[in-house]
Amino acid sequence: MSSFLDSIKWNSDGLIPVITIDAKTGTLLMQAWANREAVETAVAEKRGVYWSRSRGKLWRKGEESGNVQKLVDVYLDCDFDSLCYRVEQIGGAACHTGRQSCFFLRLVDGEWVTEGEVLVDPATLYKQRQIDS
């Protein structure tokens, strides 16, 4: 029997991009990467799970910050090479800068403008590493 994971077109590194949106508001929260194990774990645990390229390991969103993502739905795009997680974002902040969304820089007349307030002081989110905001 074929697994749903076999339908995914993984890149040469065995990864797929994952766009994550808030299931209630539709707000674009973040983009990350997942490997086969991360997607399988996300579905099994019903939470946002990704592959951390910098750490070289599974990353369960919120494991350090407490801002967990409850997985509501998973979508695969028409080319089979991109996923979308619809989640319930616990704690309000998906971004390491303490904002709701990682997409807080908007291009206006050729300049990047910061939008979205800092909901949580980034220094309080993570115990083990320094965060640049």
pLDDT of residue 24: 96
Would you place residue 129 in the very low, low, confident or very high pLDDT band (cuts 50, 70, 90)?
very low
pLDDT of residue 40: 96
Question: What's the CATH code of the domain at 121?
Answer: 3.10.20.810
Task: Print the domain residue range for 68.
Answer: 4-125
Q: Quick one: DSSP state of residue 94?
A: -
Q: How many domains does the chain have?
A: 1
Q: What is the mean pLDDT of the chain?
A: 90
Q: Quick one: DSSP state of residue 4?
A: G
pLDDT tens for residues 8-65? 999 999 999 999 999 999 999 999 999 999 999 999 999 999 999 999 999 999 988 8
Query: Which of 65, 66, 54, 67 shows the shortest CA–CA distance to 126?
Result: 65
